[in-house]
Amino acid sequence: MTPDKLVYMANQIATFFKSKPHDEGVAGVAGHISDFWDPRMRKQLFDMIADGHDGFEPLVLEAAPAIRKVKETA
Residue 73: what pLDDT? 67
CB distance 70 to 43 below 8 Å: yes
- Please list the pLDDT of the chain residue by residue as tens digits (74 residues): 999 999 999 999 999 999 999 999 999 999 999 999 999 999 999 999 999 999 999 999 999 999 999 987 65
Residue 58: what pLDDT? 97
What number of other Cβ atoms are within 10 A of residue 61's Cβ?
A: 14
Residue 74: what pLDDT? 59
To the question of pTM greater than 0.85 for the whole model, the response is yes
